[in-house]
Amino acid sequence: MDDDELQKLHVVFFPFMAYGHMIPTLDIARLFAARGVKTTIITTPVSLPIVTQAIEKAIKHGSPAIYTEIFSFPSAENGLPDGCETVNQAIKYYMIPKFMQAVEMLNTPLEQYLEKTRPHCLVSDMFLPWTTDCAAKFNVPRLVFHGTSYFALCAEEIVRVYKPYKNVSNDEETFILPSLPHEVKMTKSQFSEDFMKEELNESKKEFELIKESEIKSYGVIVNSFYELERDYADFFSKELGRRAWHIGPVSLCNRSIEDKAKRGILEASKDEHECLKWLNSKKTNSVIYICFGSMAQINASQMLEIAMGLEASQHDFIWVVKNDRQSEEELLPQGFEQRMEGKGLIIRGWVPQLLLLEHEAIGALLTHCGWNSILEGISTGLPMVTWPACTEQFYNEKLVTEILKIGVPVGAKKWNVVPYNVDYLVRRNAIEKAIREVMEGDEAQERRNRAMKLKEMALKAVEVDGSSYNDLGVLINELRHNKLKVV
């Protein structure tokens, strides 16, 4: 390593071992590197080849080098199968608690690395709350990456502090989240049952640890842009007293076609040229894109309702089907693919989502309301059908449907840690209705117009002198100033 590298501001990134967290973290690391910061990503042996591949592709298109640091993952010590080093794999084996125990054991190699390297900042995922204390031992500021919206962060904190759900008598009665800039109503059914309990169970304990570590940290990095959530960016800093920097949408660092096609850490399961050829045969805004994220496990009963709803809507579609526990062929209704040939494209596994969403034939996105997918939809100017299941997804739905007014809810009402449980099916008529509402008529066009304006704002935000570009510059300059003070 030459002297120039040794003199640089050094920021280390420690993502949570889940594809939906690793991908935006890689994008954030690229943004820092592009501004002259030495960046290092902590990874584990199983993820190393795909992280390295993503970095090499970025370098090929002009991005500066990004370093990697490998931590051995304690799978065997925690009763996990060999090579089980991501939460996506742990879900397949029903071993999330053991996986989280293994993740926490990474505090020892992290402390050893920080002591040896003494970086100037650690950016780590919200699901690694213990990293705040690890970093503090060596006077390294820790920035938290939540991977969600300002709105969700604000709403989550209001619910935690005021507990408005205590004022209702049943799971379906609505209550207002107090103090927020907009009137937001929710129900107890949209929250985890563990969260509603009075006693301090494991879920509540983990949530409190995350919040405590955030409060003690240097601040928060938010994958959003000011124009999208102006009221909630201000509320988060002024009313809740959190330091935060908005630097998104970070996916827009992927500028070339190959970047977008190969974005992330997995190879697409279907050739992008095949997908684009199919889309090229379709009219503008005529196709709805359906994806439930990288961890969804959808049972056969719900798959049937989705399939029948799609067929009844009579709209062309791309449906990304992912299920690690059962054959997709067993889950799809018999004869459905044959009937939909030419009208629907079913993709199994990973897809070049960013590239597909930009295609002019895509007219809307049906999403589980994960923040990565929502931001990608906003960045490509798409209205949405919202289908939340758990975590902060019900908050994100409120932002999309009631505040931004670019979405139509499908009618999901029940929080469930294993999404799409057979006891809480969304029926085919509701799916058909939501698809028609987002694709047809004057109101659909008004949503599309609003979505296109947000797309323009998103693109401006990441350009030179845009709000996100400038906020990242403010953060980097502050870290450089702190580095000089320490030296």
List residues with catalytic annotation.
Answer: 21, 125
Please enumerate in sequence order all residues whose Cβ is within 8 A of that of 408, keeping only pairs 6 or more positions apart, or say none: 383, 384, 385, 386, 401, 434, 437, 438, 447
40 phi and psi angles, rounded to 5 deg: -130, 135
> Sheet of 287-291: strands edge to edge?
344-348, 316-321, 287-291, 362-367, 384-386, 407-409
Distance in angstroms (rounded) separating the CA atoms of residues 122 and 134 = 10
Residue 484: how many other CB atoms lie within 10 Å? 9
113 phi and psi angles, rounded to 5 deg: -65, -45
CA 171 to chain centre: 27
In 350-451, DSSP assigns E strands to 362-367, 384-386, 407-409
Element containing residue 6 per DSSP (H, E):
helix 3-7
- Alpha helices by DSSP H, listed for 9-149, are 19-34, 48-60, 87-92, 96-104, 107-117, 131-136
Q: How far apart are the first and last CA of the chain?
A: 20
Distance in angstroms (rounded) separating the CA atoms of residues 406 and 399 = 9
Distance in angstroms (rounded) separating the CA atoms of residues 411 and 51 = 37
Whether a cis peptide bond, with omega within 30° of 0, leads into 249 is yes
Distance in angstroms (rounded) separating the CA atoms of residues 418 and 415 = 9
CB neighbour burial string for 26-43, b if at least 16 within 10 angstroms, e if fewer? bbbbbbbbeeebbbbbbb
* DSSP 8-class letter at 129: T
Token pair listed for 126: 């919200």
> Sheet of 244-246: strands edge to edge?
67-70, 38-43, 10-14, 121-125, 142-145, 219-222, 244-246
Token pair listed for 26: 């890689």
Distance in angstroms (rounded) separating the CA atoms of residues 22 and 412 = 27
* DSSP 8-class letter at 143: E
Distance in angstroms (rounded) separating the CA atoms of residues 482 and 120 = 8
Token pair listed for 266: 């997995």
User: 10-14 and 384-386: which strand pairing?
Assistant: unpaired
